[in-house]
Amino acid sequence: MEREEGETTTIGVVTAAPAKSATPIYSLSFWEVTAASGVVLGFLLGLVCVYLTMPQSDYSFLKLPRNLEDLQILRDNLEIYTSDYTIQVLVGYCLVYVFMQTFMIPGTVFMSLLAGALFGVVKGMALVVSTATAGASSCYFLSKLIGRPLLFSLWPDKLVFFQDQVARRKDRLLNYMLFLRLTPTLPNTFINVASPIVDVPYHIFFLATFIGLIPAAFVTVRAGLALGELKSLGDLYDFSSMATLCLIGVLSVTPTLISKKKA
């Protein structure tokens, strides 16, 4: 149909909405993958060396415990070897604990209970705190190498929150990191992986980890002495234990709060 003279035509223009900024995509280089694989092979080689120095026997009980029943079976069998093959048991324990911490494998609470059951409170605490700190440090440096893709894919929101909190507390960062270790504000696994990405200096990370893990390690290792009486992991952290840990956490950030108030 022809348009009549004087008739106007309106043309609608559709404006495209601005595209949302995409989450940055990171890929690992060949050397980064090679380095991570080398760490895995190093742990496996260490475990093989420990195995070769042990007497010939049935070691089918050797597996990562996933519940208290598995842990009791592991404890009952390892007690036989602890007195005669103390070095091998210690080295094997340390390698497994550090490996689990490095690669964020759940179940380190069972390893802490096992330390108390096999070595007592004092030796067990020293073992747990040292291996947990070593494992967290190993995770810190491995994350510095290849952790950025994992963080942005698993915990993007937590990473932004953590980065903001660290930037605000540069002057009292040790107090803040102690608070995180002593309270369930952020998971320890996330703290290990995210700390190098948000520029937490290693010496602060190390001190906060070593000191901050002591109270929880004491609770868990002591519970390992009475492993047979535990019905569930919930028995570890009763109200008094949790209240004590939270109180210590609050005390750790009190200097930061006081300095802010004065400022």
Token readout for 77 is 């069998």
When pLDDT is cut at 50, 70 and 90, the band that residue 17 belongs to is very low
SS percent in the chain: helix, strand, coil, step 5: 70, 0, 30
The confidence band for 119, taking pLDDT boundaries of 50, 70 and 90, is very high
Average pLDDT over residues 164-192: 90
Among candidates 129, 136, 47, 44, which has minimal Cα distance to 91?
A: 47
Q: Give residue 192's pLDDT.
A: 95
Q: Is the pLDDT of residue 4 over 60?
A: no
Q: What is the C-alpha separation between 71 and 80, in angstroms, rounded?
A: 15
What CA–CA distance (Å, rounded) separates 222 from 130? 16
pTM for the complete prediction? 0.79
Mean pLDDT of 253-259: 55
Structure tokens at 40: 């895995």
- Residue 40: predicted pLDDT: 86
In the predicted model, what is the mean pLDDT of the chain?
A: 82
Locate 143 and state its tokens: 């994350």
24, 148 contact by CB (below 8 A): no
Which of 238, 245, 220 lies closest to 71, judged by CA? Answer: 220
Q: What mean pLDDT do residues 232-249 have?
A: 68
pLDDT range class, residue 6, cuts 50, 70, 90:
very low
> Between the CA of residue 212 and those of 110, 144, 177, 249, what are the distances in Å?
19, 22, 8, 9
Instruction: Tell me the mean pLDDT in the region 199-216.
Output: 93
Higher pLDDT, 192 or 58: 192
Report in angstroms the alpha-carbon separations of 254 from 27, 67, 183, 260.
41, 38, 14, 10
